[in-house]
Structure formats: structure tokens, C-alpha cells
Amino acid sequence: MTTTTQPSAPGFTGVSTSLRGLTRHFGDKIAVQPLDLDLEPGSIVGLIGPNGSGKSTLMRMVVGLLRPSGGSATVAGVRLHGDGTAVRARCTFAPGELGFYGELRCEAHLKWLLKGRERSSVARGIELLERLGLPRRGRVRSFSHGMKRQLLFAAALAPDVPLRILDEPTEGLDPSKRGEVMDLLREDASPGRTTLLSSHHLGEVDHSCDRLLFLSAGRLIADESAVDLAARARRLVRVEWPDEPPADLESAARSNGAVAVMAHGSRTTIELDSDDPRPILGLVAQRTDWPRPAKVEYGQLSLRELYRDLYGVEGL
């Protein structure tokens, strides 16, 4: 089988997406708090947060499927207004949930999903079905949940557009298939294209995304490059105490190069201002008036542990 690569989409160069004060509430419940965000072309952006954090609501607003309660947006160079038809012509969207026509065969369903797109999109979509191992003649009703997710993914990657929005594209897939999907996303990267994908599995996207956005209870709590986040994770010291941490631990740690100290029961996570842990490790070892730590870890924490410890975000 011959594999083709998506063109670099030179006509899309410089097309960005900007959100200003975008918010959504359902009755008294605020699903997405007012959000300012710029998504630049040429990047893969991960939208991370536990279930119920507002990821899907935000994505549906961006593609015009859900009317914002306030704020404004320019999506892929087009102002978001009305029913969002103009925006959806400039982007693809793989929703977290979608009804399927079970009687259709896989290839026919792909063509239905790509209705109105250019012919080259269908050819590219069929190639993606083959890459993913989906039977082109198989009835969709016989597909597992994961296979249906891959069908949506193939349809979202087929058109040559400046913006792709993928809501939990690897949900329901086994580890090997998740890896294939992320590999295809990296292959699809283009200087003129932005990809926004959501996940509640931080470990799955931290090596694939250029930038990570973290949502918690509808609020953007962090926006950092993947490189900077990895560096932060390397600057964490975690101390497990036999009981409560020492009362003067935070002040002592800050005097020895700590920029943040977070306590969670008997566990303390200390973020350093450099890659040198010796001042903190020496402090913990030399303070004879402190209890002896049960465990000390440095440079081994994952990004998931970083956000759990520093921001108290569970479920990633």
C-alpha cells in the first residue's frame, strides 16, 4: 500500500484561533468559565482534564455546535457566529459521542461523514481506514466502540483544513491502537494546521503535544509547553513522612530554593527553582528535629503526578 503525506497547507499559514471571554453555563452551573485563548498554526495542543472538567463543552462551542453564553471567538480565521457553518467548513471535528448508521458499510459511512468535502478527502480517508486496520466492507453495526472511534478519527484526519478538533480520540482503544492514533496525529502535523485534542490521560499526550492546556471545573488552570512541563516535573522533590510534615517545612524549603510547597496528608511535594536538589535533600536529611522521611523521590515524577500534587487535580 502506498502511503501519502498530507500537504503543508500553505494557504492556511498564519490562520489562528482566538477565544475571548468564551463561557458557557447550563442554568446555574458554569460549565466553562470565561476563557481567553490563542491557538497558533503549526501546533498540536492537548486539552487535558478529568471527566466533567468542561473539555467537550469548550470544543462544541469552538466548532459552533453549542452557542456560548458569553464571549467571542475567531476560529481558523473565521468569526464564530450563527450556527457555525462557516467555521465547520474550515475545520474537522471528531466528537466524543455520535450516532452511527449501523447498516452502512465502513467505507460508505466514511463517505457520509465526508459529505461536502473535496474528493481527495475520501481517498485520504480510505487510506487511513487501511492504516488503522478497519474493514472497508464491514458493517458498522458489527464494530466495537473502539473501531467506531477510529472511523471518526479517520474522517477527521482526511480533509486538508487549518484546524482539527478531536474529542478523546483514543477513548476505548487498547494501548497499541492508542499509539497508532497518536503516531498518525504526529504524521499529520503541518506548519499551517492546528490540532486540538482532548484527553483525561495525561501520560498519553505529553509526548505528542507541543502545548498542554489544563482544565479543572471549567477553569483553565495551566497553559504551558510540553518541554517546560517536563522540565518542571524534573524539578520536583516528593517526601513521604511517617505522619504529618514538619510545621516549619515550607519556610525552610523556600529558604533552600523551593518555589512551591504543597502538602497532601503525609506527602509533601516541593518544586525547586533549579535542577539541583542538593539543598532540599540536605535539608531533609540534616534536620534532626524533623521526623525521618519514609520515602524521598526526585526527578522521577510524571506530569500526571505533577498536576495531582501541585494543583490537586485528580483523574488524569
Q: Which CATH number is 275's domain given?
A: 3.30.70
36, 66: one domain: yes
108, 217: one domain: yes
152, 200: one domain: yes
203, 256: one domain: no
* 45: its cell numbers: 495542543
Q: What integer is the mean pLDDT of 190-207?
A: 84
Q: What integer is the mean pLDDT of 71-92?
A: 90
Q: What torsion do the CA atoms of 176, 100, 17, 21 make, to the nearest 10 degrees? A: -110
Confidence of residue 190 (pLDDT cuts 50, 70, 90): confident
Q: Which one, of 88, 110, 237, 109, lies nearest residue 163 by Cα? A: 88
As for how many domains the chain has, the answer is: 2
Q: What is the pLDDT of residue 264?
A: 85
174, 213: one domain: yes
Q: What is the pLDDT of residue 82?
A: 79
214, 245: one domain: no
CATH of the domain at 174: 3.40.50.300
Confidence of residue 313 (pLDDT cuts 50, 70, 90): low
Q: What integer is the mean pLDDT of 97-109?
A: 92
Domain assignment present for residue 272? The answer is yes
Domain that holds residue 148: 10-229
265, 151: one domain: no
Average pLDDT, the chain: 89
- Res. 31: pLDDT tops 50: yes
Which of 178, 209, 229 marks a domain boundary?
229
Confidence of residue 314 (pLDDT cuts 50, 70, 90): low
pLDDT in tens, 123-134: 999 999 999 999
Which of 202, 229, 256 marks a domain boundary?
229
Domain assignment present for residue 312? The answer is no
Q: What integer is the mean pLDDT of 97-107?
A: 91
Residue 37 CA to residue 75 CA, distance in Å, equals 11
Of residues 208 and 17, more confidence is placed in 17
199, 135: one domain: yes
- Res. 251: pLDDT tops 90: yes
CB atoms within 10 A of CB 273: 13
* 79 DSSP β-pair partners: 74
Domain assignment present for residue 57? The answer is yes
Q: Which of 19-23, 56-60, 134-138, 204-208 has the lowest mean pLDDT?
A: 204-208
- Res. 249: pLDDT tops 70: yes
Domain assignment present for residue 264? The answer is yes
Domain assignment present for residue 112? The answer is yes
156, 222: one domain: yes
pLDDT in tens, 260-288: 998 888 999 999 999 899 999 999 999 99
Q: What integer is the mean pLDDT of 62-70?
A: 95
pLDDT in tens, 158-181: 999 999 999 999 988 988 899 999
Domain assignment present for residue 316? The answer is no
Domain assignment present for residue 23? The answer is yes
Q: What integer is the mean pLDDT of 140-146?
A: 95
Q: How many CA atoms lie within 13 A of 87 on its CB side?
A: 24
Which of 229, 247, 265 marks a domain boundary?
229
Domain assignment present for residue 175? The answer is yes
258, 195: one domain: no
119, 169: one domain: yes
Residue 151 CA to residue 131 CA, distance in Å, equals 11
Residue 112 CA to residue 104 CA, distance in Å, equals 9
101, 178: one domain: yes
